[in-house]
Amino acid sequence: MREHTLGKNGPIVSRLGLGCMGMSDLYGPADRVESLATLHAALDTGITLLDTGDFYGMGHNEMLIAEALATRSNGKVALSVKFGAQRGPDGGWLGFDTRPNAVKTAAAYSLKRLGVEAIDIYRPARLDPNVPIEETIGAIADLVKAGYVKHIGLSEVGSETIRRAAAVHPIADLQIECSLLSRGIEDGILDTCRELGIGITAYGVLSRGLISGHWDRSRATIGTDFRSHSPRFQGNNLDRNLTLVDALRRVAETRGASVAQIAIAWVLAQGNDIVPLIGARRRDRLAEALGALDLVLSASDVAAIEAAAPKGAAAGQRYAEHQMATLDSERAA
């Protein structure tokens, strides 16, 4: 597994990271035994970046990771934790709270659940419209000084917010959705990050499974599954998006690869400063994703992939309208 420094000042991480959300929340029921086995398999293959959030399963995801690390950690794992999203007992979304005292309280609980002395990368999940980003980053900077956090990250924010945050404290990386179907990062945000030496951790590289090559209309979703209300998985949008998958499958076949591997390899090809987060929650899906590391795309390969799924071709927004309104990254674009 290749490794490199995340951004100019971040931790050394593996070329692929593992996004752990689906093992606890938002994609329907998950198998705990298989989740732990997948975490172990990821660590055994050299993946060192694990991404979570304190609101994934209301702490369940952090405790699951802690259980996996108890028997597999080699001291090299980098834990990336998001905070700030508020949820009720029913799992409903209540908004965001990134006031300084809330930042420090959330960190205290995450440290306890994860069973670690310091969080490697700590980041607000979204921009809190009621709290200046300078105050939030300043609070995390206090945690850095105290030794409870090693690096500071951002999530789904635009260029102006990135610059304001970086003026307070060095930022290791920006976490943002980036895939063949979600390329908003190209409209200034990526340039800003590269100018400031900020790395990218890209989530949603398979568009929530839509361009995994395994999704079709027969797949059922339940109300707690994000995809049951995601615009890209609804009605005619889904039909149009699956035609893009068919086109990608034809390109993948010319390389002897799967659709998922082609989609991940495309993200990898966008630059060494971009680390894809693989949302696998089963060992077979993890093994498939790891195969993307063996795909070296030529310029003609990249052109063929982008012709199959051109920028802007996705039908439907990546979130429902009310969720899109919370994305500073989209407002900036």
Residue closest to 177 by CA, chosen among 317, 25, 30 = 317
What is the chain's alpha carbon radius of gyration, rounded to the nearest angstrom?
19
- The DSSP output letter for 179 is B
Q: State how far the Cα of 68 lies from the Cα of 44, in Å rounded to an integer.
A: 11
Contacts of 49 (CB under 8 A, 6+ apart): 6, 13, 14, 16, 17, 18, 77, 78, 80, 201, 275, 277
End-to-end CA distance of the chain: 34
Q: Which amino acid, one-letter code, is at 198?
A: I
- Residues carrying an active site annotation: 56
Tell me if residue 141 falls in helix, strand or coil.
Answer: helix
Q: What is the DSSP string of 262-278?
A: HHHHHHHTT-TTEEEEE
Q: State how far the Cα of 67 lies from the Cα of 69, in Å rounded to an integer.
A: 6
**H or E stretch including 85?**
strand 85-87
